[in-house]
Amino acid sequence: MSNNTLTAGRPVRWQFMFVLGCLVQGVPAVRSEELFDSVMLHSPELAVPRTVRTFPDKLPGLWITAFDRPEADIRCQAALTIGRAHQLGMDGLRQTIPALTRELDREGQHASVRLAAARALVVLDAKESAPNLFKLTLSGDADLCEIIEPALARWGYDPAKDEWLKRLSHPAPHRRETILAIQSVAVAKEEKAVPRLRELVLSLESSSAVRLEAARALSILRKSGAESDADRLGADKSRRGMIGRVAGAWLLRQHSGDETVRRLQSFARDTEPSVVTVALARLIEIDPVLVEPLLDSVLASSDANVRGQGIEVLFRRPSDKHFRLLGDRLSDAHPDVRSKARRFLRELAAAHHDKVIREGEQALAGTDWRGREQSVILLADLKHRPAADRLVNLLNDDRPEVAIAAAWALRMLAVPATLPKALDHFERYTIKNVPPDWRDRQLSQLAQWFGQARFTPADKTLRAMIPPKALAGIQTRSAACWALGWLHEGKPSPDLAGLLEGRLAAVNPFDVEVELVRRMCALSLGRMKANDHLPTLRKFYLEGKPSPSMVNNACGWAIEQLTGEKVPPPEVIETSQRMWFLSPLD
């Protein structure tokens, strides 16, 4: 089944996904983040050597000679390798440009070699090869054009501009070729393309993809004069007219003035989020106040991008009402939107501390787990210690996200009065079964807190975490080993030191300890001043200097605490990159 068949069968869905996937310019994508740091990984900060790649000097020459081989696959591998090596940071590869250029023009050249050579020249930013590359695009080979034409556009290669204008005047049978030409004239800022791009946007005979890409190109090339076209495209309010309305909003993407604002506000009231998102982005750039009359519908949108733009306005225009609305977004269904609301509130706290605390406390007491999670993080970031009692209760929250956040927040707030209840919770989940991974993360935070607080009532419970058969996960056991070093800082405990040494030395076939536990055991032996175990620490300080092994580095740090022997500064480790399809023997 061809792509055209698929498009014809489901045009509305395809158009909608295209708009959302390619043309939305509202809220930048925010990936889920790991919020809950582990202090044990940074106390102390262990020196680690920096690793740099090195490359044998003879590699470029060897790859150049490969182009003289008759086998097409060897020449292809040589070109691909040059591009890959450049991306890995290898210098001196511009000497390969003449050989790569010759491969483009070789008579009877295999298509795969020509494609690989073109890709390598583009990666090398070989502007001097532009005439040879441009000549290849005239063949109409779609694969070559996809690689070459974006580079020619960046380089501003004039002969290619003429070809793109010609292609737009006589649309190619394949839509992708037309779209590539549209994208190229936009990057090259070729203003001669404006009349034809306008025709493509307004033509109902153009495909949806072509119309939208032409509108985006016009938004780059024109900063005024598109108002009447936007009105025309926005006139059809039906589902069928959605593509036209998105295109109309795009035409105004760099426009200004009262009439532009009026039209953008009209687009921002559209029923289709893809139209609203484009219009809102420009309104916010002009002045966030222009979006305030639309906030109710924006924040109620089913689209996360639209709601995200709404909270951008709330942030830029702080008021009592807007603080309440930002607080409501802590419970947003989309993780990126609710975390963005939290970050905005955190930033606003510098000037509006009490208002932000009010919103955080309200969400903390709410029924929505999302709001509880975000408020826990917010209040901990703001060091709001009155929340600590509530956080203890949230250790047993039905949602793992909230329960983990509560443990981290308790460690961050460090309210001594809550330590006994936290210890009760810790013990409850380490006496029957090994807890699930999420509980392991939670208990690890509590164990680290016990160590930071020097909470000696936790000593016995933490010691029970050291053996490999303990009813705890790796994170919890590691944190317990680390915390015990703080509980006994400068005070050697023979029994405890023996347990820690045993796990550090557990590298035998039937008793192999994980590296994180071994690392924390070494650190605690150093903190405890366990001088009797210096031989074991030296045994596993294999390098005698910082290395990529964190166990080695932890042992070195511990030895310094016991003896005063300074850990040498970390060196630079050179890793020679020799695993190529052709490498020198020497």
The rounded distance, in Å, linking the Cα atoms of 379 and 427 is: 26
Instruction: Determine the pLDDT at residue 574.
Output: 86
Instruction: Determine the pLDDT at residue 11.
Output: 37
Say which CATH class 319-413 falls into. mainly alpha
In the three-class reduction of DSSP (H, G, I as helix; E, B as strand; rest coil), residue 497 is classed as: helix
Instruction: Determine the pLDDT at residue 34.
Output: 60
Instruction: Determine the pLDDT at residue 101.
Output: 97
What is this structure's pTM? 0.88
- The residues of the chain scoring below 70 in pLDDT are 1-34, 171-174, 586
* Tokens 């993780």 found at: 335
Instruction: Determine the pLDDT at residue 175.
Output: 83
User: Which stretches of 188-287 are DSSP H helices?
Assistant: 194-202, 208-221, 227-234, 242-251, 258-268, 273-286
User: Domain boundaries in the chain?
Assistant: 55-155, 223-317, 319-413
- What is the DSSP track for 85-119? HHHTT---GGGGHHHHHHHHH-TT--HHHHHHHHH
Query: How far apart, in Å, are the Cα atoms of 154 and each of 131, 161, 165, 188, 217?
Result: 14, 11, 16, 6, 15
Contact 384, 357 (CB under 8 A): yes
Residue 60, preceding peptide bond in cis (omega within 30° of 0): no
